[in-house]
């Protein structure tokens, strides 16, 4: 098939011209230049200004799209190769929105690569210029384009107000991302479904950002909006021009894959989306991890109206989350059952607190000089009326998702403080208590007030309490976390960094936060005596922590060999099945009463004595 010349391309029925008619009044045409190389950009802006144009520069694709929506220029000159959102992505985004749909668009390419040019033209670019170009070439191309555009505009001019009422813009387009809303998606779906041949299917994909509430809370309003825009850029880059994308709510997007592209199946698209979103987002000098899950439903198998399809895709999305996030799931009728089970579990979790079904187990922490118990970690358990004792791994994620973790965590904290106070009152050897603090609890505005209240209520000396936090809780908003930790420390409560090694494991973070203890995750401790990589890492972590004057607790110590290695490395404290599993309060009390100690080989103790 012969390729169409740009001027032969069908004119898209659009309404943009109106916005430009305002620029026409003062007769100075507004040109937006999107170019990431500063020198090139400055050069083009200078040429345009000398050619009596009003020129605006955007330093990257995202900024370019924003300026295009805000300023509705008469023409856009855009570089193809840019990091993050490239020229094709910019054009795809602009062509999704009627305000910017028909703004003449000229691509800049570094070399006259036929494929690049063809791709640009297929996306709807009007012309291209190969770098380097002369002043005359640039101004010539712009003038030619503007003339054609003026003729077009005369034929299709409609007043802006009229357009606004006709399309009811705000109802159809999301303010922040300029993507279609569910309302427009519905119209598009009906159109697409009508056009889908009987032997083909239409896939609807729901992309949900997981734990977005927590991220948003940490980033604040503006940060959250920036993140959403960046996410949209990546999503746009992962789908094809003919696909339809909409924003359904704060953290959910729907994509209807264009029918008839058999070679491109929905699994491939879903995997690409997950991969691209998986790369951390650089915002405000922090790396923000975003995890997504995807649910897919297809018409006509799973339904033939949008509401049913979205509901089914939603079920598949929830299932993907349940399976651990960062994956996609197709809707099948049997996953409905699993979701129901989850809903039932959530409902019974809601009642579990009132029904006093939670228990706190205590796992001893043992110092490695004499082998004495010096502390305990409080670990919650759920005594489910039918399922028996449920481990936290099974309900904590659900509790976090539903927000129930805050009251549950607070109950654990109160219960554990009370218990330690009771042991002290009974004359047992003093131990400190470590309590896990979830992201939601840590971010409660009145966390300190609640903490002080519990200490007062239980009359436990704050020096015996340590709160365990994971890195992921802290890195979302470093400055806020630092303030919070300082406030906790001001109460005399200690802070422990839990599961070190599973998150960012960055020394930079360690130095910024006022930790007292570092807990090495059990994945490093496992087979430490034979696994050379784990051995090297743990040795490095221990010596680094020692340099920062932190107490080091090795988690998950299961064998005598692991213990020997840790002693030799002068680790301070251990916690693991080798000494004891988490046990009930009564069993723990019994251990304290008996003065149970860990037997440490003499030679290993000797190593420690240099340190303590």
Closest by Cα among 108, 152, 102 to 127:
108
Binding site for ligand C2E (CB under 6 A): 363, 379-380, 391-393, 396, 405, 409, 412, 436, 438, 468, 498-499, 522, 555-558, 575-577, 582
Question: What angle (nearest 5°) sits at the alpha carbon of residue 375, between those of residues 374 and 377?
Answer: 160
Name the binder of 379 from Mg ion, ligand C2E, none, CB < 5-8 A by kind. ligand C2E
Q: Pick from Mg ion, ligand C2E, none: which does 392 bind, CB < 5 to 8 A by kind?
A: ligand C2E
Using the rule CB under 5 A, is 230 a contact of Mg ion? Answer: no
In the bound state with ligand C2E, the residue whose beta carbon lies nearer, of 61 and 576, is: 576
Stretch that binds Mg ion, among 92-100, 207-215, 418-426, 465-473 (CB under 5 A): 465-473
522 binds, among ligand C2E, Mg ion, none (CB under 5 to 8 A by kind): ligand C2E
Count of residues interacting with Mg ion (CB under 5 A): 5
Q: Are 320 and 301 in contact (CB under 8 A)?
A: no
Which one, 204 or 598, has the nearer CB to ligand C2E? 598
Give the residue with the Cβ less far from ligand C2E, 51 or 407. 407
Q: Shortest distance, CB of residue 519 to Mg ion, whole angstroms?
A: 5
Closest distance to Mg ion from the beta carbon of 496 (Å): 8
> Which of ligand C2E, Mg ion, none has residue 438 at its interface (CB below 5 to 8 Å by kind)?
ligand C2E
Whether the bond between 423 and the residue before it is cis, its omega within 30 degrees of 0, is: no
Selection from Mg ion, ligand C2E, none that 233 binds (CB < 5 to 8 A by kind) is none
Binding mask 549-568 for Mg ion (x = CB under 5 A): ------x-------------
Each residue of 192-202: b (16+ CB within 10 Å) or e? bbeebeeeeeb
Residue 284 CB, nearest approach to ligand C2E (Å): 27
Identify whether the C-beta of residue 106 lies closer than 8 Å to the C-beta of residue 127: yes
- Supply the minimum distance, in Å, between the C-beta of residue 232 and ligand C2E: 32
Beta strands in 165-277 (DSSP E): 202-209, 244-249, 252-256
Q: How far is the CB of 582 from ligand C2E (least distance, A)?
A: 5
466 binds Mg ion (CB under 5 A): no
Residues contacting 452, CB < 8 A, separation 6+: 491
Q: What is the closest distance, in whole angstroms, from the C-beta atom of residue 413 to ligand C2E in the complex? A: 8
Distance (Å, whole) CA 279 – CA 234:
10
Ramachandran bin of 338, using left for φ above 0, alpha for ψ from -120 to 50, beta for the remaining angles: alpha
Is the CB of 201 or the CB of 505 nearer to ligand C2E? Answer: 505
Kindly tell me which of 405 and 451 has the beta carbon lying closer to ligand C2E.
405
Q: Provide the minimum distance between the beta carbon of 32 and ligand C2E in the complex, in angstroms, as a whole number.
A: 49
User: Which residue in this structure is represented by tokens 């062509």?
Assistant: 95
Comparing CB distances to ligand C2E, the nearer of 14 and 575 is 575
Smaller CB distance to ligand C2E: residue 168 or 584? 584
- In angstroms, what is the minimal distance from the CB of 427 to ligand C2E? 27
Q: Over the range 521-551, which residues count as b (16 or more CB within 10 Å of their CB) and which as e?
A: bbebbebbbeeeebbebbbebbeebbeeebb
Q: Which is nearer to ligand C2E, 185 or 379 (CB)?
A: 379
Of the pair 363, 608, the CB lying nearest ligand C2E is at: 363
Counting beta carbons within 10 angstroms of the beta carbon of residue 574, is it exposed (0 to 12), middle (13 to 18) or buried (19 or more)? buried
Q: Which is nearer to ligand C2E, 132 or 393 (CB)?
A: 393
> What mask of x and - would describe binding to Mg ion in positions 173 to 202, judged by CB under 5 A?
------------------------------
How far is it, in rounded angstroms, from Cα 555 to Cα 577?
A: 9
Question: Do the Cβ atoms of 75 and 17 come closer than 8 Å?
Answer: no
Q: How far is the CB of 355 from ligand C2E (least distance, A)?
A: 17
Distance between CA atoms of residues 33 and 511, nearest Å: 43
Tell me which of 436, 441, 458, 575 binds Mg ion, using CB under 5 A.
Answer: 436
Q: How far apart, in whole angstroms, are the C-alpha atoms of residue 435 and residue 261?
A: 54
- With b meaning 16 or more CB within 10 Å and e meaning fewer, what string describes 217-253? ebbeeebbebbbbbbbbbbbbbbeeebbbbbbeebbb
Lookup: tokens for 13: 């029925």
Nearer to ligand C2E, 91 or 412 (CB): 412
By CB under 5 A, tell whether 468 contacts Mg ion. Answer: yes
State the minimum distance, in angstroms, from the CB of residue 326 to ligand C2E. Answer: 19
Angle (CA) 231 233 235, round 5°: 70
SS3 (DSSP) at 39:
helix
* Residue 495 C-beta: closest distance to ligand C2E, Å: 14
| Residues 499-518 within binding reach of Mg ion (CB under 5 A) | 499
Instruction: Give least dist CB 235 to Mg ion, A.
Output: 34
Binds Mg ion by CB under 5 A, chosen from 36, 243, 498, 562: 498
What percent of the residues of the chain are helix, what percent strand, and what percent coil, each to the nearest 5? Answer: 50, 20, 30
Segment lying near Mg ion (by CB under 5 A), choices 70-78, 135-143, 282-290, 547-555: 547-555
Closer of 233 and 378 to ligand C2E (Cβ): 378
Helices 266-278, 212-238: inter-axial angle, 10-degree rounding: 130
Helices marked H in 426-470: 439-442, 447-458
Which residues are at the interface with Mg ion (CB under 5 A)?
A: 436, 468, 498-499, 555
């Amino acid at each position: 098939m012969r390729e169409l010349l740009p001027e032969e391309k069908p004119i898209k029925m659009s309404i943009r011209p109106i916005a430009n008619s305002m620029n026409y009044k003062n007769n100075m045409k507004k040109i937006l230049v999107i170019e990431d190389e500063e020198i090139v950009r400055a050069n083009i802006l200078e040429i345009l200004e000398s050619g009596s144009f009003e020129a605006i520069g955007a330093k990257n694709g995202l900024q370019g799209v924003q300026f295009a929506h805000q300023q509705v220029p008469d023409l856009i000159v855009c570089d193809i190769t840019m990091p993050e959102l490239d020229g094709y992505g910019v054009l795809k985004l602009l062509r999704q929105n009627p305000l910017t749909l028909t703004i003449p668009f000229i691509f800049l390419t570094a070399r006259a690569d036929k494929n690049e040019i063809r791709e640009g033209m297929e996306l709807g670019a009007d012309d291209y210029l190969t770098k380097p170009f002369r002043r005359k070439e640039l101004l010539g191309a712009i003038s030619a384009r503007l003339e054609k555009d003026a003729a077009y505009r005369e034929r299709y001019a409609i007043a802006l107000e009229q357009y606004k009422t006709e399309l009811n813009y705000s109802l159809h387009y999301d303010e922040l991302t300029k993507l279609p809303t569910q309302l427009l998606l519905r119209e598009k779906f009906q159109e697409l479904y009508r056009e889908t041949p009987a032997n083909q299917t239409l896939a609807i994909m729901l992309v949900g950002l997981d734990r977005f509430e927590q991220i948003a809370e940490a980033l604040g309003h503006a940060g959250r909006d920036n993140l959403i825009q960046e996410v949209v850029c990546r999503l746009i880059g992962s789908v094809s021009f003919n696909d339809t994308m909409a924003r359904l709510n704060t953290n959910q997007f729907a994509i209807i894959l264009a029918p008839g592209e058999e070679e491109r199946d929905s699994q491939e698209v879903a995997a690409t989306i997950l991969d691209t979103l998986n790369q951390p987002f650089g915002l405000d000098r922090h790396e923000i991890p975003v995890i997504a899950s995807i649910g897919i439903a297809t018409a006509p198998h799973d339904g033939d109206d949008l509401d049913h399809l979205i509901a089914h895709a939603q079920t598949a999305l929830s299932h993907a989350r349940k399976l651990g996030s960062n994956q996609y799931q197709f809707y099948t009728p049997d996953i409905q059952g699993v979701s129901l089970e989850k809903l039932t579990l959530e409902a019974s979790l809601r009642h579990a607190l009132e029904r006093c079904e939670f228990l706190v187990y205590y796992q001893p922490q043992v110092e490695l000089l004499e082998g004495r118990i010096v502390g305990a970690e409080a670990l919650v358990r759920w005594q489910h009326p039918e399922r028996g004792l449920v481990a936290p791994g099974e309900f904590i994620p659900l509790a976090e998702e539903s927000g129930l973790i805050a009251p549950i965590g607070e109950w654990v904290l109160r219960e554990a403080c009370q218990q330690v106070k009771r042991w002290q009152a009974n004359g047992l050897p003093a131990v400190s208590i470590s309590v896990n603090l979830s992201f939601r609890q840590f971010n409660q505005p009145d966390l300190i007030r609640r903490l002080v209240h519990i200490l007062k209520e239980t009359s436990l000396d704050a020096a015996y309490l340590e709160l365990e936090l994971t890195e992921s809780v802290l890195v979302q908003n470093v400055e806020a976390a630092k303030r919070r930790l300082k406030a906790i420390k001001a109460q005399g409560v200690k802070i422990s960094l839990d599961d070190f090694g599973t998150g960012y494991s960055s020394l930079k973070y360690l130095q910024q936060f006022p930790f007292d203890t570092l807990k090495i995750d059990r994945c490093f401790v496992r087979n430490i005596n034979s696994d050379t990589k784990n051995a090297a890492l743990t040795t490095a972590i221990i010596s680094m922590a020692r340099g920062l004057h932190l107490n080091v607790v090795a988690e998950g110590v299961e064998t005598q060999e692991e213990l020997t290695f840790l002693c030799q490395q002068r680790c301070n404290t251990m916690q693991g099945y080798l000494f004891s599993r988490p046990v009930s309060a009564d069993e723990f009390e019994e251990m304290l009463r008996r003065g149970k100690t860990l037997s440490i080989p003499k030679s290993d103790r000797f190593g420690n004595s240099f340190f303590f």
